[in-house]
Structure 1
């Protein structure tokens, strides 16, 4: 999985950098979505697209991440975890990591948005999608932290909820003509790589012992 995500992210970034033929997928997706919006002419779908896109804002996803970390820390404290406090700094570091991953890339690629308007002096560019990265990491890390003290069914529900939110934000951005499709896919890949790395390592101590200690 990380190899697939990494290769896809490199491929997309290369195509954006050189204005390669794969960007034709962006133009096809935008044309298809605009035709669908025109044909359906459904105000409810448009409002849903806007609403899902807004869920990727830092003012929404980051508080959810921090709240999830506080709840996770409380649950781990009651469960007797030795490092029950770690979810909070993990969430804070995640919130700080998102702009560090996205902003330099936006400035480097300086890709105009779907409307085709040239970038102004205060704009970084559209690639990769900041809202999609924020949603993928914000909701994904919150789910990882809460899953530590959850049962199998709850863990599956948390994972599915985080995935649906990340997908909904990305699709809402494309539907609302805020982002190219490949901007969104790149952020899904980027967020997926970070989540895979976090999921591979214990984020907090097990009950009654520190990570890495012998039973």
Structure 2
């Protein structure tokens, strides 16, 4: 669980800097102002929209239905619960930290909900489309595509001026923690299923 611990430590550091207004937050705001408005508007808006529930949830839903159809209902439920955990964790942080947005007087922008949604939905779908533990490599391209989509969402949100860079980084770290826990849960489900199948053949 080293990945979970690393993400937790870095998340605490980033959150502390945002709350305390430390040097990392100052650098973040300078970087954000320099990045806003760069890139083709249509493309950056499209990338930012990848993190909306209207886009990310159907992708995960298709993967979950496929997994359930393949007899992996417990895996599908675990991934769905991970996505449900995103707003449960993000919304209290937004209310507590109350960070103003880059181009608005409104607050509640840290961490980025769209970024966390994209990361958990796309990487969760990739985990569902991957074979069970010990069953081969399956589709090696699926997770890299999910990671690219997650990264592209955060980049689009910053370039469009919807979020500061640390808002996105904080969500990547939060998403990393959720995915580490999810991966552990899926391994447990797979091992339990394999043990049950082995017992059934005796």
The question of a shared fold, defined as TM-score above 0.5 by the shorter chain, is answered with: yes
Pairing 1:166–2:154 present: no
The one-character-per-residue Cα deviations of 1:91-127 (angstroms, maximum 9, x if unpaired) are 33123211101000001101110015144xxxxx000
Report the secondary structure of 1:101's partner residue.
helix
| Equivalence for 1:5 | 7
| Equivalence for 1:210 | 196
- Counterparts of 1:211 and 1:112, CA distance in 2: 53
| Equivalence for 1:73 | 68
Q: How do residues 117-156 of structure 1 correspond to structure 2 at under 5 angstroms?
A: 117-119=105-107, 125-148=108-131, 151-152=136-137, 154=139, 156=140
Q: 1:208 deviation in Å?
A: 5.9
TM (norm. structure 1) is: 0.81
- Report if the CA contact (8 A) 1:70-1:87 is conserved: no
**Cα 1:73–1:204 shift into 2, 3 Å:** farther
The structure richer in helix per residue is: 2
| Structure 2 alignment gaps of length 5 or more | none
- Report if the CA contact (8 A) 2:82-2:182 is conserved: no
1:48 pairs with 36, 43, 50, which one?
Answer: 43
TM (norm. structure 2) is: 0.86
- RMSD of aligned Cα (Å): 2.5
The one-character-per-residue Cα deviations of 1:24-56 (angstroms, maximum 9, x if unpaired) are 22222123214x73xxxx6xx221110010010
**Cα 1:28–1:197 shift into 2, 3 Å:** same
**Cα 1:128–1:192 shift into 2, 3 Å:** same
| Structure 1 alignment gaps of length 5 or more | 78-83, 120-124
1:18 pairs with 3, 17, 20, which one?
Answer: 20
| Equivalence for 2:170 | 186
Report the secondary structure of 1:86's partner residue.
helix
Number of aligned pairs? 195
| Equivalence for 2:99 | 111
